[in-house]
Amino acid sequence: MKILTPLLLLLTFVGCKNSKDFKSDFEKHQFDPTVINNLPLYDTLRQIVQNNYDSFYLSNTKNDFTYIYNFDTSTEISGHSNSDVPETIYPKTVQLFKRIGKENIFGFTISKDSTFEILVRNTHLTQYFLDVRERLYWYPSTNKIGKTEFPIKDTLLTDKWQYQIWFDKRAEF
């Protein structure tokens, strides 16, 4: 699945006639030092989730669990609740989300193979009608870390943590 996503993104951009228009912006986009400096907090979150892996009830039919945290409790995010994580880790999870800050995390995904993805941020670039997506990935095995190409870039933060940024063209309706 992790290999399929970049492949689909690449095919999408090959079909977009103006992907070269934002290539210089892509090349200029930097990895955020705040995200990198928060790696110990992200890793603490990963450890809490993985230590309670069985609480997520992953199976052959449910391969992953995605948690979206809503910092603005006066509004709702359709299909998501702050209490969607197992009750045993909820207080620690919320505390970490608040420490990391809404500019640097909005959720996570745990996969059946223990791959852990931090949803850092999505930023819309109206000039190109695309989103800049930033993610941190923790892989249980280093052989799962693949090489990326335009419109995706990455950097290894440790032997298992990878920081990815990709420019994702929005579908026009």
Half-sphere exposure of 25 (CA within 13 A, CB side): 16
89 DSSP assignment: T
Report the alpha-carbon distance of residue 144 to residue 1 in Å, rounded.
Answer: 11
Mean pLDDT (the chain) is 84
Task: State pLDDT tens for residues 107-155.
Answer: 999 999 999 999 999 988 887 788 889 999 999 998 888 888 888 899 9
- The conformation of residue 38, written as its DSSP 8-state character, comes to T
Please report, rounded to a whole number, the percentage of residues in the chain having pLDDT higher than 70.
84
- Quote the pTM value: 0.82
Number of structural domains, the chain? 1
pLDDT at 15: 43
Mean pLDDT value of segment 32-37: 97
Q: pLDDT grade, residue 29 (50/70/90)?
A: confident
Closest by Cα among 143, 128, 127 to 3? 143
- Average pLDDT (73-82) is 72
Q: What angle do CA 157, 91, 118 make, to 5 degrees?
A: 25
Per-residue pLDDT at 150: 85
What residues make up the domain containing 94?
4-16+23-169
Selected residue with higher pLDDT from 1 and 80: 80
The band of 76, judged by pLDDT with boundaries at 50, 70 and 90, is: low
